[in-house]
Structure 1
């Protein structure tokens, strides 16, 4: 299993647009799921401009399929153009235990 956390902070005026772009990605993934992958996005309750994305997949090849989703590419380009306060930082995670299977 492969798991990655990406965290970044956007400007206050970009929060709602970023949420909408994330919803478009999620709608695309619901319509055309990537088998063996779970993808989710959150905001920090104490700082709603900080977003955290968690991508878990059965392997690296499966995880890489996210970049084939046009809505994901649009999301990433828009995020970059918004000039985030804190740019996306990717962290590889090591699984200790889970109550689900991919």
Structure 2
């Protein structure tokens, strides 16, 4: 299992567009490999800091998910928006979950 957390901070005038872009790729994700990955997005109380937490069954699934067109567009728009804090990518060591990605 692969688990990753990505945290970044957007400018105030981009926050709503970022939420919309996130909704677009999440809608696409809902129809994909549903039992082989989980993808969650959170926003901190400041309304500008976003935290994405994802878990994938393996690297093949991770690549399929991350290469989805709407996700690639989301990343491009986010990165071109003039971020206040660049994405920090952290690999997480999965200890357990109440959900199972593997049958």
Q: TM-score range by the shorter chain?
A: over 0.9
Residues of 2 paired with 1:54 and 1:67: CA distance?
13
**More strand, by proportion:** 1
Name the residue aligned to 1:37.
37
Partner SS for 1:52: strand
What pairs up with 1:80-95 in 2 under 5 angstroms? 80-95=79-94
Residues of 2 paired with 1:97 and 1:67: CA distance?
23
Post-superposition offset of 1:34: 2.5
C-alpha RMSD of matched pairs (Å): 1.0
4+ residue stretches of structure 1 with deviation over 2 A?
none
Residues of 2 paired with 1:17 and 1:6: CA distance?
18
Q: Deviations over 1:63-101 (max 9, x none)?
A: 111222110011000001101100111000001221110
| 5+ residue gaps, structure 1 | none
**Please, what TM-score do these two structures have when normalized by structure 1?**
0.92
Partner SS for 1:25: helix
